[in-house]
Structure 1
Amino acid sequence: MYPKPRSIVFDLFGDFLRYSGGAARLQTLTELLAAFDVPEATTRVVMARLRKEGYFATEKDGRSTVYRLTDRSWRLLDDGRKRIFERDRDPWDRHWRMVIYDVPESDRSARDRVRKKLRWWGFGPLAPSTWVSPHDRLDEVAAALSEEPVARLDLLTCRSAGQAADLDMASRCWDLGALHAALLHKREAYRAKLARYGSSPPKGRDALVERVELVHDYRLLPFDDPDLPPELVPSGWVGREVHEMFLQAHEMLRAEAEAHCARATRESPSPQP
């Protein structure tokens, strides 16, 4: 089952179209989404909604409508690329970053959005309204929550009493057993993909579909996997291995997928930025 059309649009811009000026004609987008069985009418509705939400600006070039990424979309894509494709390789400084927030009890949707954004940046709930991460991402959190109705936001850097306390905090914030089981399952799936790509690599349109589906599948992982340092996970943890397999599969599909996008763009040339 393909991702939702809205997700496909962001994946296409994030992995391909951002590198050719961040703009595309509606007919180009229609052709690209058709590879995912998205009807033209649906593409038009989705793009109109994304424009209304401030993710795209439109302009006319002759009789064609051009959709161009806004600053809001560029930030979204930059943040997404950072979380999906990058993993922290520096030694852990043994400091925790803590976020304490206050959202009005009456605004349940805002609380859900705040929690989702914290999960995306690798924070886990140590206590109600108190989330922690071993990664230094307080600036990213501050920017992400600046659009939310947060009555109070405290951003702290702290240390625990020692290794035992660190391990206890990690086990309380994340279900490491369930997460590792999910990673093992994903490793097997990616191992099968790599074997298939090596023996019978997808071409053209199929490569584009495979690559978008691969990114869509993997970008759900950062919500659950905070990419904990080795000191905080059990021995035999496969998170980094899964990440490397994802990068390898993504690269194996690159040439054919990019060529298909380039052909679609040439047939309906994108305007100059």
Structure 2
Amino acid sequence: MAAERTPRSLIVSFYGAFGRGGDPDGGPGGPAGSGPVPVAGLIRLLGAVGVDAPAVRSAVSRLKRRGLLVPVRHGGEAAYALSPSARTLLDDGDRRIYRREAPAGPGDWLLAVFSVPESERRKRHLLRSRLARLGFGQAAPGVWIAPAHVAEETRHTLRRLELAPYVDLFRGVHEGFTPTPEAVARWWDLPATAKLHEAFLDAQEPVLRRWSARTAAGSPAKAYRDYLLALDAWRHLPYADPGLPPEVLPPDWPGGRAAEVFAALHDRLRGAAEDFVNTALTHRDEAAR
């Protein structure tokens, strides 16, 4: 099931792309930006993608309660910045969201084997949900599997959530009696994941075609809008599909094409989108016209 586009999700996508500051080159694939964002500027910039001011304020309040945004003063204005924990979460996601390398071959898997005492069942639920969010499939009760390239992110996440003492991680090959593609089809809901990719392509391929057909640069405002909506739609997919090897996937798997479309939109729109954000935050009157 596709992630619903909500004001809260769009704000997280906005901060991930434009609200971290730091390296102007955007790290491993994209994020740079201005750091703390004035409330008035955030309302204007979310308004450009169809979110009204009350919805922005309500979503910001929820993100503040969850500890993801913190209130600050910036340039004499009320503003919100990412909390350290939120910055860590976004940094962790960069490698996956902006990944360009091809998935590894089918011979290297990561196993997470865990046991949580009944007295700590809350941590058991948290562990299962976190492994699922990292893209693991369930091979058996207490045994979860993922492509080995997610090992570093998994270790980091389990340590950060203080779940590492309950888990053992192993790397190896699949040598069961069932062919690996058949086993993968049990471990992951491939039809549901394919539908997510197809929904992304249905929405974003026309956008890419429109921009590819342009003989001149388009409006920075349109570039910003199209980029933020594409990023918000895309950023959940590399977790639903953690880069499974092509050899174990059904023919005509749409994941590779979806990744290509997002990468092309990122390359085409990111720079103009960031220019628009910087102008909107530094020249408010001009951006409002």
Q: Same fold (TM over 0.5)?
A: yes
- Preserved contact between residue 102 and residue 150 of structure 1 (Cα < 8 Å): no
Give the secondary-structure state (helix, strand or coil) at the position aligned to 2:242.
Answer: coil
Tell me the number of residue pairs that the alignment of Structure 1 and Structure 2 aligns: 268
Aligned pairs for 1:8-47 within 5 A? 8-18=10-20, 19-47=32-60
* Structure 2 partner of 1:66: 79
Aligned pairs for 1:84-163 within 5 A? 84-89=97-102, 91-92=104-105, 94-103=107-116, 111=124, 113-146=126-159, 147=161, 152-161=166-175
Q: Percent identity?
A: 29
Matched, 1:171 2:185: yes
Answer with 82-91 or 246-255: which moved more. 82-91
Q: Which amino acid in structure 2 is aligned with residue 23 of structure 1?
A: P
- Residues 70-123 of structure 1 show CA distances to partners (whole Å, capped at 9, x for unaligned) of 221221111222221115436437122111223466877755543343233231
> In 2, distance between residues paired with 1:188 and 1:46?
28
Q: 2:5 aligns with which of 3, 24, 34?
A: 3
Aligned-residue Cα RMSD (Å) equals 3.1
Deviation at 1:160, TM superposition (A): 2.4
Q: Which amino acid in structure 2 is aligned with residue 192 of structure 1?
A: P
Cα distance change of structure 1 residues 234 and 149 upon mapping to structure 2, 3 Å threshold = closer
Q: Which amino acid in structure 2 is aligned with residue 8 of structure 1?
A: L
5+ unaligned residues in a row in structure 1: which ranges? 269-273
* Structure 1 partner of 2:239: 223
TM-score by length of 2: 0.78
Q: Which amino acid in structure 1 is aligned with residue 204 of structure 2?
A: Y
Cα distance change of structure 1 residues 61 and 75 upon mapping to structure 2, 3 Å threshold = closer
Cα distance change of structure 1 residues 100 and 261 upon mapping to structure 2, 3 Å threshold = same
5+ unaligned residues in a row in structure 2: which ranges? 21-31, 285-289
> In 1, distance between residues paired with 2:204 and 2:73?
42
* Structure 1 partner of 2:220: 204
